[in-house]
């Protein structure tokens, strides 16, 4: 059965991308461009809401940003000097049009649109309470819980109602909101998900990543701080810190895989961080070889770092077909196998008769690694050594990244020896947790006084309580309820 599924099924899937702009006459067109740069964060649906001084104008649709917003009549209807946008990968709620963001609510105190990157971990508990009190939900996305909390709050200003709502939620989030007098952006107190602030002429911009500023030629000002709320109105920008201070726990997987390599995330070049991880990997788990080959595209910077450190030639020994398109086939095991062959092909001239080191960013289920190793052997490699630029992914993410249930994660079920056999490699090694932290500029590794990152998918150390999923003590319960 054919369905539309754009992803390599063995990758962790990105969460969502958010964008907001205030102070330009064609805010929606700017937003469409920003979302286009954030397309890698979610490919299932996209939406924009703009405000023209009188009314809110919205368009939301399933599909890629380009498919939806390249149509001039669509952008032409989205008049306004302020807009917010969202590109979605569904981490909660189904892929239904009613779940596509931004969500809009006509509140007694004015209109409010909101878009969210992340996951609330007490969504179910709050939703039950709200339904008991009479709230009628239109969607199954956790973002709507925030809308209902805002609608039922007592404060008179939308921003104060938003603060009241956010004080009741747990989870990882970057929200952007659009009001009739401005835009607002806010990060959760731990700063798990990213949000940056930029300037384009007189306009202010907020976006998940700096690549969305670059596409507009906007200047990067700074990251929105963990727990900070930034409000932009005709009077300029104000900053509030409405939550108790918490330790910074930025998602380390943004550096490893999610963010675009040309983005600067939390002051660090994603590309450079990935190269440094590759260099750590070469120091920690070097092996005699003739060629270093990345698993494209996300393994490329780490493979470059590995090759430079090891002094071994780097070659594009696997070529990725970028035109596979969005038509994918129902991911049965048989079809997953076909999917990998559709996407990657061996560059035989640089493989045959060689001892190959393959570098990839992560192993999730292990299906892609298995097929890639098989493909490289079939192309004549004499040895195939797999090196992974992240520690073993042993735990599921509950903070806005779609990971499989824990028992589907290869590294939660097998030790290195068994995994090596499973993927069919001559050897397999992962960068260590400390090696990954050193690459992030923490010479003391994870045990430095302020690790600064969430690394729960490698350690099980969840920095935000998983209220919907667990009583906070049993990790087994987490894996059961994460289905």
Q: How far is the CB of 455 from ligand SF4 (least distance, A)?
A: 5
- Over the range 168-194, which residues count as b (16 or more CB within 10 Å of their CB) and which as e? ebbbbbbbbbbbebbbbbbbbbbbbbb
Nearest to 294 by CA among 393, 208, 372, 190: 372
Active-site choice (12, 16, 212, 482): 16
- Binding segment for ligand SF4 (CB under 6 A), chosen from 245-253, 297-305, 417-425, 475-483, is 245-253
Q: How far is the CB of 115 from ligand SF4 (least distance, A)?
A: 19
Residue 457 engages ligand SF4 in binding (rule: CB under 6 A): yes
Q: How far is the CB of 119 from ligand SF4 (least distance, A)?
A: 9
- d(Cα 275, Cα 307) in Å, to the nearest integer? 10
Residue 397 engages ligand SF4 in binding (rule: CB under 6 A): yes
- Binding segment for ligand SF4 (CB under 6 A), chosen from 264-272, 326-334, 454-462, 473-481, is 454-462
Q: How far is the CB of 143 from ligand SF4 (least distance, A)?
A: 17
Binding residue ranges for [4Fe-4S] cluster: 251, 397, 454, 457
110 or 441: whose CB is closer to ligand SF4? 441
Tokens encoding 283: 């120091």
Residue 440 engages ligand SF4 in binding (rule: CB under 6 A): no
Tokens encoding 466: 């998983």
**Burial category of 282 from C-beta neighbours within 10 Å (exposed 0-12, middle 13-18, buried 19 and up):** buried
> Is residue 211 annotated as part of the catalytic site, yes or no?
no
- Over the range 417-452, which residues count as b (16 or more CB within 10 Å of their CB) and which as e? eebbebbbbbebbbbbbbbbbbbbebeeebeeeebb
Using CB under 6 A, pick the residue from 454, 466, 467, 482 that binds ligand SF4.
454
155 or 246: whose CB is closer to ligand SF4? 246
Q: How far is the CB of 15 from ligand SF4 (least distance, A)?
A: 9
Q: How far is the CB of 252 from ligand SF4 (least distance, A)?
A: 5
Nearest to 306 by CA among 292, 322, 289, 326: 292
Residue 252 engages ligand SF4 in binding (rule: CB under 6 A): yes
- Binding segment for ligand SF4 (CB under 6 A), chosen from 120-128, 214-222, 248-256, 280-288, is 248-256
CA end-to-end distance (rounded Å), the chain = 23
Question: How many other CB atoms are there within 10 angstroms of residue 58's CB atom?
Answer: 20
H/E stretch holding 37: helix 27-37
- d(Cα 258, Cα 89) in Å, to the nearest integer? 12
Residue 192 engages ligand SF4 in binding (rule: CB under 6 A): yes
- d(Cα 366, Cα 220) in Å, to the nearest integer? 38
Residue 399 engages ligand SF4 in binding (rule: CB under 6 A): yes
254 or 309: whose CB is closer to ligand SF4? 254
Decide if 333 contacts 357 (C-beta within 8 A): no
- d(Cα 358, Cα 6) in Å, to the nearest integer? 24
Residue 271 engages ligand SF4 in binding (rule: CB under 6 A): no
14 or 280: whose CB is closer to ligand SF4? 14
Nearest to 469 by CA among 41, 9, 108, 124: 124
Using CB under 6 A, pick the residue from 212, 373, 456, 466 that binds ligand SF4.
456
Residue 386 engages ligand SF4 in binding (rule: CB under 6 A): no
105 or 172: whose CB is closer to ligand SF4? 172
What stretches of 267-383 show up as alpha helix (H) in DSSP? 270-285, 300-310, 333-343, 367-378
Decide if 181 contacts 156 (C-beta within 8 A): no
Strand partners, 200: 203
Residue 469 engages ligand SF4 in binding (rule: CB under 6 A): no
Residue 273 engages ligand SF4 in binding (rule: CB under 6 A): no
Q: How far is the CB of 42 from ligand SF4 (least distance, A)?
A: 15
Number of residues that bind ligand SF4 (CB under 6 A): 12
Exposure of 52 in the CB half-sphere (CA atoms within 13 A): 12
Residue 20: alpha-carbon gap to chain centroid: 17
Residue 436 engages ligand SF4 in binding (rule: CB under 6 A): no
**Burial category of 160 from C-beta neighbours within 10 Å (exposed 0-12, middle 13-18, buried 19 and up):** middle
211 or 397: whose CB is closer to ligand SF4? 397
- Rounding to the nearest 10 degrees, give the CA dihedral for residues 416, 422, 425, 430: -30
14 or 315: whose CB is closer to ligand SF4? 14
52 or 402: whose CB is closer to ligand SF4? 402
Q: In what order do the strands lie in the sheet with 427-430?
A: 291-294, 355-360, 383-388, 427-430
Using CB under 6 A, pick the residue from 206, 401, 410, 423 that binds ligand SF4.
401
Using CB under 6 A, pick the residue from 251, 291, 357, 372 that binds ligand SF4.
251
Residue 409 engages ligand SF4 in binding (rule: CB under 6 A): no
Using CB under 6 A, pick the residue from 455, 469, 478, 479 that binds ligand SF4.
455
Q: How far is the CB of 328 from ligand SF4 (least distance, A)?
A: 23
Q: How far is the CB of 253 from ligand SF4 (least distance, A)?
A: 4
Tokens encoding 4: 């539309």
402 or 426: whose CB is closer to ligand SF4? 402
* Chain contacts with ligand SF4 (rule: CB under 6 A): 172, 192, 251-253, 397, 399, 401, 454-457
Where in the sequence numbering do the catalytic residues fall?
16
């Amino acid at each position: 059965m054919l369905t539309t599924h754009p992803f390599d099924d063995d990758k962790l899937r990105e969460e969502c991308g958010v964008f907001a702009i205030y102070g330009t006459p064609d805010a929606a067109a700017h937003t469409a461009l920003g979302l286009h740069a954030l397309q890698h964060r979610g490919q299932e649906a996209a939406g924009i809401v703009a405000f023209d001084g009188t009314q809110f104008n919205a368009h939301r649709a399933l599909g890629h940003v380009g498919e939806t917003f390249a149509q001039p009549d669509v952008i032409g209807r989205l008049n306004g000097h302020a807009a917010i946008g969202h590109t979605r990968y569904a981490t909660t709620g189904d892929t239904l049009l009613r779940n596509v963001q931004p969500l809009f609510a006509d509140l007694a105190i004015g209109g409010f649109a909101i878009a969210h990157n992340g996951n609330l971990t007490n969504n179910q508990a709050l939703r039950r309470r709200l339904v008991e009190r009479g709230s009628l939900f239109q969607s199954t996305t956790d973002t709507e819980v925030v809308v209902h909390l805002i609608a039922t709050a007592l404060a008179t200003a939308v921003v104060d109602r938003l603060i009241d709502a956010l004080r009741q939620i747990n989870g990882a989030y970057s929200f952007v909101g659009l009001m009739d007098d401005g835009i607002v952006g806010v990060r959760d107190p731990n700063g798990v998900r990213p949000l940056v602030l930029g300037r384009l002429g007189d306009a202010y911009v907020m976006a998940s990543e700096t690549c969305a500023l670059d596409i507009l030629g906007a200047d990067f000002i700074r990251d929105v701080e963990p727990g900070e709320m930034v409000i932009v109105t005709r009077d300029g920008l104000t900053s509030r810190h409405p939550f108790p201070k918490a330790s910074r726990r930025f998602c380390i997987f943004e550096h490893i895989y999610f963010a675009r390599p040309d983005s600067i995330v939390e002051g660090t070049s994603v590309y450079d961080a990935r190269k440094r991880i590759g260099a750590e990997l070469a120091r920690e788990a070097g092996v005699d070889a003739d060629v270093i080959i990345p698993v494209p595209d996300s393994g490329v910077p780490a493979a470059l770092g590995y090759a430079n450190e090891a002094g071994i030639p780097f070659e594009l020994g696997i070529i990725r077909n970028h035109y596979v398109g969005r038509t994918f086939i129902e991911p049965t095991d048989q079809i997953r196998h076909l999917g990998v062959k559709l996407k990657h092909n061996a560059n035989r001239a640089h493989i045959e008769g060689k001892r190959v080191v393959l570098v990839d960013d992560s192993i999730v289920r292990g299906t892609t690694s298995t097929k890639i190793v098989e493909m490289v052997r079939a192309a004549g490699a004499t040895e195939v050594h797999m090196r992974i630029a992240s520690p073993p992914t042993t735990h599921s993410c509950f903070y806005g990244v779609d990971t499989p249930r824990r028992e589907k994660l290869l590294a939660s079920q097998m030790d290195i020896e068994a995994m090596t056999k499973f993927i069919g490699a001559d050897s397999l090694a992962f960068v260590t947790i400390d090696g990954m932290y050193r690459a992030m500029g923490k010479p003391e590794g994870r045990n430095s006084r302020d690790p600064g990152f969430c690394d729960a998918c490698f350690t099980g150390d969840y920095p935000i309580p998983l209220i919907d999923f667990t009583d906070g003590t049993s990790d087994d319960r987490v894996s059961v309820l994460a289905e």
